Amino acid sequence: MTERDGTERFAADGWRTTADRPVGSDGGTTAPEGGGRSTELPPVAEEAEGAGDAEGGTEDGLLAPRGRSLLGYVGSVVGIFIAAGVGLGLGSNFILGFLIEQFVEPGTAPTDNTLVSIMLLHNVITPFLVGPLMAVGAGALIGRALPGRRLTATAIGGSASLVGFYLMTGLTLFLTINVIAQYSTGAGGGGGGLDQAALGKQIIESGIPAAVVGGIGAYIGSYLSG
């Protein structure tokens, strides 16, 4: 069978090749006349642009960056500080209690012992030194979670570090001074020889540097991640 005979046979059966089909104004081929069958398959419909992003995408807005509320980010940072405060406070409480029982005579003020006084001073200072370091680390984590959202990350890192520092320091000092007061019953010196008003003022003032470095850490983390 020659090529011409094959073409005539297909034409007789109602089949048309793409060469026989007229070209439409849009560049495609039109349907064959007379209801004849065509060997060309219909074009596959294109997927809507952005459909994949809409299906599994997350809402992103000012109050819900990357699909999470601002309170969620702030709460995560504050939770880290609270956990650290409980750990530092309990550790201080246990070690001071041990030293008092070992080296302080019953009925004697714990702070009269040099070793206990030194450890008390160390434990009181610790949260003020640890707080800014934790603020930088927590802020950097917030920044990495919010790449390219530098201002948002900075605001969250600074405010959360401020609140977290106050809570962590308060918990640590409460648990530290509490053990001194417990063993000082009837012996005087229940406050551990510390000026409570001056200590509270120091906590408020020290929260400012923690907030600043927390915001800086968040900005850098967002900048490097974005």
The predicted-structure confidence for 14-56, as pLDDT tens digits, reads as follows 545 545 555 555 555 555 555 555 555 555 444 444 443 443 3
> What is the model's pLDDT at position 8?
53
Same domain as 15, residue 91: no
> What is the model's pLDDT at position 47?
44
Domain extent at residue 10: 3-38
Same domain as 85, residue 16: no
Domain annotation covers residue 96:
yes
Domain annotation covers residue 186:
yes
> Cα(109)–Cα(155) distance, rounded to whole angstroms?
46
Is pLDDT at 103 greater than 50 in this prediction?
A: yes
> What is the model's pLDDT at position 59?
53
Domain annotation covers residue 54:
no
CB 136, CB 130: distance < 8 Å: no
CA distances from 44 to 35, 47, 49, 100, 116 (A): 21, 9, 15, 82, 81
Number of domains the chain is built from: 2
- Give pTM, 2 decimals: 0.70
Same domain as 102, residue 188: yes
